[in-house]
Structure 1
C-alpha cells in the first residue's frame, strides 16, 4: 500500500474531506515525526516497483492519527505529545520539548485572562464586587455542566485556578470543597475516593500554571526537570484515562448502581473524546508528572491500574 493508497483509505474510514483530508504530505510528516513507521518495501524485483506495506499495528496507528486530525490534533507538538501518551515515542527529548511547548501554549490564556486576585484573603473575604469580577474573568461554565452534579461554586473554580497560578494553596479549604463535591454524588462514589487521595489533590494543583521565574513549584519546571522514568510513570496514568471511556465510574459496575449514576456516566462518556486529547491530557499528564517529581510519596494514592482494568474487563465481558 503506497502513501497515496493509505491516505485514500484513511479519508474514507475516518470521513475526512477537503482541507481536512489526509494527503501524502501529511503521511510523510507523521513518518518524519516518528509517530508512524515508514512503509516497508516487499517483493522488490529488477524492473518492477516494490510493493509497499505496513503491519497491522502501523495501520491501527494511522487510523488513530487520522481520527486525531479530525479532532483538531494536527500541529507537530500536539501530535507528538498525544502519540507519546497513547503508544510511546522513540525520541524522549523531542517528546519533552513537544509537551513543554503544548503546556506553555495552553497555560498562557489561563493566566492572561485574570486581573483580579484574592491577595492574602480568602474568597469569602474579598467582597462581593471582587467575587463578581473573579467569576466574570473565569468565563462562563460549559453549558453541559450547568445544572448537573458536576457543577461547582465560583469559589471552587477560583480557588483552584488561583492556587495553580500562584503556587500557594489553602489545602484545608480546597480539600473541604472537594469533599463536599464528592459527597453530593452519593455514598458509593464517596467510597471510591479515600480522604487521603482528596487531601493530595491541592498540592498537585499548586503552581501548575505559574511562572517558573516567580514560583518554585511550577508545572513548567516539573516538565523540564523530570526524568524519563518519571515521564513513563505519568504516561501510564494518562493511558489509563485515555483507555477508559467511563473512568472512573466504570468501577461502580460491580455495585449494580449504574442506573442511579446514569446521568453522570452519560455526561462523562460524551465528554471523553474531548477530554482524552489536547490540552486536557497535557494538564492531566503534568499533574501526574508533578506527583512523581515533587511529591513521590503521594504516588501511592493514585488509582490501582490493574484493579481498575480488571473491573472494566469483567463488566464488559
Structure 2
C-alpha cells in the first residue's frame, strides 16, 4: 500500500512539473513577441465564390515597431506596440493582452458591436486568449488557442471575427466582418503572424463569404538604437495609458455588450484620447484624474449594456 502511495505521489509530482514546464514555455514564447522590429505587411485575395468578383490589389507595406511589455503577471502578459516613423515620430499602435484560462471572451458581432460570451471550463483549460485592442485601447477582437511547442517549433493559432482591417475600413463597404484565421509562430529572426481570412457579409440571413485572403506580417529583429526617441516618448506617455487601460477595464467589467460610435464633435475616439494623453503629460495629472477623464470620454462614444 505504501509503495502504491509513493508511486502515485511521484506520478502527481511529474505531472505538476510537466504542467508548470508547459506554462513556462507558453510564457516565454509570448514574451519573445516583444522587441524591436522591422515589420512587413503582405496581403492578397486568393479566392471568391462569385466568379464575377473583382479581386482587389495586393497590399504591401512596412514599418518599424517597438513591442514593449507593459504588464507581466503569472497568467497575463500585455504587450504595447509603438509604430516609429523617421527619427522623431511615434504612434501608439495596437496592443495585445495574453490571458491564461480566461473564462469569457469578447466576441465581435458586426457594426462595431462586441458581446461578452462565457466559455466552458473545457474550452479554456491550458489555453491562452489573445485580446487585441485598437490604438485607443478600445476592443478589436479576442480569440483563444493553445500554444504548441514541438520539434523546436513554438506556435499558436485561433479563429476570430473582427471589424474590417485598418488597411481597408476607410476604402471598402462591400463586407462588414473579417473572419480571421490567425497563426503566430516564432522564427530565428523574430516571429510571423500568418492569416487565412474570410471577408464576410453578415446580415439577418446569416454570413456570406465574398472573398478569401492570405496574409503575412513578418516581424524581423533590428538594432535597438533606432528606437531611442520612441523610448523617450513612451516614458512620458506610459503613465497615462496605464490609467486608460484601467478605465477600459472598468467599462468591460460592467457591460456585457459594447457598441462603439464613430465621430463625436468632429473627432474619433482615438483622437480624443490621444489629445487627453498629451494634456495629461503636460499638466502632470494624477491617476485618479486620468481615469475619470478617460471614462467620461469613452462613455460619450459607446452604447453599453
Which structure: greater helix fraction?
A: 1
Same fold, judged at TM 0.5 (above)? no
Q: Classify the TM-score, shorter chain.
A: under 0.3
TM-score normalised by the chain length of structure 1: 0.22
TM-score normalised by the chain length of structure 2: 0.22
Which structure: greater strand fraction?
A: 2
Max radius of gyration: which structure?
1
